[in-house]
Amino acid sequence: MNGRRILTIARKDLSEVLRNKQAIAPLLVVPILFAAVFPAAIALLGRSPVLTASVNGLDAFLDNLPAGVLPPDLNTGGIVVYAALTYFMAPMFLMIPIMVASVIGSSSFVGEKERRTLEGLLYTPVTNRELVLGKVLASLVPAVVVTWGSFVIYTIIANVLGNPVVGRAFFPNVTWLIVVFLLVPAIAFLAITLIVAVSGRSTTVQGAQGISVLVLLPVLALVIGQATGLMLFDAPVALIAVVVIAAIDVAVFLAVAKTFQRERLVTKLT
């Protein structure tokens, strides 16, 4: 594959996204919720039973925590803040790159169709793998950057508001470093590759975004599994998820690139 061609496609798509303020605005909603509003509410209301009653699944999650997970000297407020910010929010944080990717990636080919620039792109000498990878990178970069920026905000809030309640510095831990720097790029790549594949078969951006929401289902399964006590999203689980998703990334990318039919897209345009 030609790296220059891939980067050219990625830069072109990324510049189109940055010029579209209507597409950028929704990207801020989910990160603000998960990186600022939720952790701040948990830290400030950690001592109140209202929090565990109002956050769906949090009460059950606290009841199902395995023995030895929490430091033994925490009071009730410290337990809620420590457990929620360290474990409960970790799989939820994975929704940020997926939601960002769904907004940007879903307009990949559909946006080209609507701007009537797709036909010229399909007639260029780029290979299918180069074309798909370039489209994926154009969405992967902002998805990862937004998530990493959200992690910085989350870390600041957890330390400024959470440390006084817990009574010590506790964030970030190894699990979060694995999630943010390894699992986020891996799951974002998977989501974007699937979304690009869907985008190539959709006729409108809204249609591609509607189908791409299905990518959230595995993350929701993690959230539900942790809330019901079926599993704890800790460092070993995060590492296993990284290895599994990285393998799936390679397989899905190769399958999408192999089944990509530019001739069919050109036919639809004529």
* Cβ–Cβ under 8 Å, residues 39 and 157: yes
**pLDDT value at residue 259:** 75
Is residue 118 predicted with pLDDT exceeding 70?
A: no
Q: Kindly report, residue by residue over 84-95, the tens digit of the pLDDT.
A: 899 888 888 888
**pLDDT value at residue 149:** 94
State whether the Cα torsion 192-197-200-201 is positive or negative.
negative
- pTM summary value: 0.82
**pLDDT value at residue 69:** 82
**pLDDT value at residue 246:** 93
Average pLDDT in the chain: 78
- The residue segments making up the domain with residue 217 are 3-269
Percent of the chain with pLDDT strictly greater than 70: 71
Exposure b/e, 60-72, CB count within 10 A at least 16 = b: ebbeebeeeebee
Is residue 57 predicted with pLDDT exceeding 80?
A: no
Torsion (CA) 221, 222, 223, 225 in degrees, nearest 10? 80
Is residue 256 predicted with pLDDT exceeding 70?
A: yes
Q: Kindly report, residue by residue over 119-174, the tens digit of the pLDDT.
A: 555 656 677 788 778 888 888 888 899 999 999 999 999 999 999 989 888 999 99
Q: Kindly report, residue by residue over 220-231, the tens digit of the pLDDT.
A: 777 777 666 667
Percent of the chain with pLDDT strictly greater than 90: 19
Exposure b/e, 240-263, CB count within 10 A at least 16 = b: ebbeebbeebeebbeebbeebebe
Is residue 247 predicted with pLDDT exceeding 90?
A: yes
The DSSP letter of residue 173 is -
The DSSP letter of residue 59 is H
**pLDDT value at residue 264:** 57
Structurally, how many domains does the chain consist of?
Answer: 1
**pLDDT value at residue 269:** 45
pLDDT band at 210 (very low <50, low <70, confident <90, very high): low
Of 52-61, 99-108, 119-128, which has the strongest mean pLDDT? 99-108
**pLDDT value at residue 4:** 77
Average pLDDT over residues 12-32: 74
If one counts every other C-beta atom within 10 angstroms of the C-beta of residue 219, the result is: 18
Amino acid at 150: S
d(CA 22, CA 17) in angstroms, rounded, equals: 9
Burial of 132 (0-12, 13-18, 19+ CB in 10 A): buried
Does 90 or 106 have the greater pLDDT score?
90
The DSSP letter of residue 33 is I
